[in-house]
Amino acid sequence: MNKIYTAVIFMILLLCFIMPNVYSEQAEPLSYTDVVDVKDAGSPELYRRCKLWFADTFVDSKNVLEIEDQDVGMLVGKGMIRYEPNVFMSSALTRGFIRFTVKIMIKDGRYKYLFTDFTHQGSYSSSGFGPINFGLITTATTCPTIQGTSKGAREALWTNMKQVSEQEVKKLINSLELAMSKSASIEENW
């Protein structure tokens, strides 16, 4: 009988140490990054191309750009994606924006982009309720508990926010790659 108690206690202790590792998920902030080679382009030219991309892509690039350091070869800005939820329940108060940081580092012949720190901010309803903010969007498959949402709606909204972020960032990455592949020289025949 003593052996059975010892075995049960041992199993319980073993489960206590194993279970947190099984269920704990190492969530990182949602990020998209890559290094892109651009043949025959020096860092000053790539820097100009990148500044033009910011100006063409964002409504007010002066308000978007937070760091502009040509000597270091870095531009850092803040962007925003309008978020319209595709989930009916608990979604009106999640309508709002997903803000993000874009960091572009430039060297001769290549640049690295990093889109990160996607943060959801909901809005108030017309009757004054809300907002429901999901905060930092991470790689976690399940979202944190958000007051005012059911688990099913919360998970659907979480997944939708990550999908919307990815779709919009892919468009931004494509436009960045296109802009960085074209010369930023001033047209002389105008």
Within a domain: 134:
yes
Within a domain: 150:
yes
Could you tell me the residue range of the domain that residue 81 belongs to? 27-181
Q: What is the CATH number of the domain that holds 161?
A: 3.30.530.80
| Pairing of β 110-122 and β 135-136 | antiparallel
Within a domain: 118:
yes
Phi and psi, residue 88, nearest 5°: -75, -55
Q: Helix or strand or coil: residue 115?
A: strand
d(C-alpha 16, C-alpha 162), whole Å: 32
Q: Which amino acid is at 7?
A: A
pLDDT the model gives residue 17? 42
Within a domain: 16:
no
d(C-alpha 85, C-alpha 89), whole Å: 10
pLDDT the model gives residue 139? 94
pLDDT the model gives residue 76? 97
Phi and psi, residue 156, nearest 5°: -65, -40
Within a domain: 9:
no
Contact (CB, 8 A) for 70 and 100: no
Within a domain: 17:
no
Structural domain tally of the chain? 1
Mean pLDDT per 10-residue segment, the chain (190 residues): 51 42 67 96 95 89 86 95 80 90 97 97 82 92 80 89 96 97 72
pLDDT the model gives residue 175? 97
Within a domain: 42:
yes
Contact (CB, 8 A) for 65 and 75: yes
